[in-house]
Amino acid sequence: MKFTEEHEWLRVEGDEVVVGITAHAAEQLGDVVFIELPDEGQTVSKDDEIVVIESVKAASDILAPLDGVITEVNEPLVEEPGKVNEDPEGDAWFFKMKIEDLSALDDMMDEAAYKKFIG
């Protein structure tokens, strides 16, 4: 698993990357009450705001971690946004995307580096 400074995790599955938010981010956000996901097939550029996530306390955006195409979104999250608090690094992934060059992940933080990053 790789991590971004925007508190996303990325997991490679075949030629796709699964993206979610970290347990740390979910805890900081508090109870998630609303999620808006991107469209399947949508072409995105790094840092595009592609997911809206609202908790009882705040509205936040999830940014596309890399250039690519959205291949699948986790539709059940829209009906049950609270899953993000229950299993942020497992069932509550947000979207899968196809990217040109998986080596782009090599520069991202591993778990140890992310833990250090969040202190």
Partner 1 sequence: MRGLEYAGCRLPCTRSQTKGCRVSELKRTPLYDLHVSLGAKMVPFAGYDMPVQYSLGVMKEHLHCRAAAGLFDVSHMGQVILRSEDPEVAKAALETLIPQDVLELVEGRQRYGFFTNDAGGIEDDLMFANRGDHLFVVVNAACKDADVARMRAALEPEVTVKLLENRALLALQGPKAEVVLAEHHPVVAEMRFMDVATVPIAGAECWVSRSGYTGEDGYEISVPAAAATDLAKALLAHEDVEAIGLGARDSLRLEAGLCLYGHDIDETTSPVEGGLTWGMQKVRRAGGDRAGGFPGADRILREMGEGVSRKRVGLSPEGRAPMREGTPLFASADADTQIGTVTSGGFGPTVGAPVAMGYVDAAHAENGTTLFGEVRGKRLPVSVAKLPFVAAGFKR
Q: Tell me how far apart the alpha carbons of residues 5 and 72 are, in angstroms, rounded to a whole number.
A: 23
| Nearest distance, CB of residue 62 and partner 1, angstroms | 5
- If binding is defined by CB under 8 A, does position 89 make contact with partner 1? no
Q: How deeply is 71 buried, as exposed, middle or buried, from its count of CB atoms within 10 A (0-12, 13-18, 19+)?
A: middle
Residues 7-66 that bind partner 1 (CB under 8 A): 7-8, 21, 25, 28-31, 33-34, 36, 49, 51-63
Q: CB 17: neighbour CB atoms within 10 A?
A: 22
As a whole number of angstroms, the distance between CA 33 and CA 56 comes to: 6
Nearest distance in Å: CB 73, partner 1: 16
Rounded to a whole number of angstroms, the minimum distance from the CB of residue 104 to partner 1 is 19
Contact footprint for partner 1 (CB under 8 A)? 6-8, 21, 25, 28-31, 33-34, 36, 49, 51-63, 78, 81
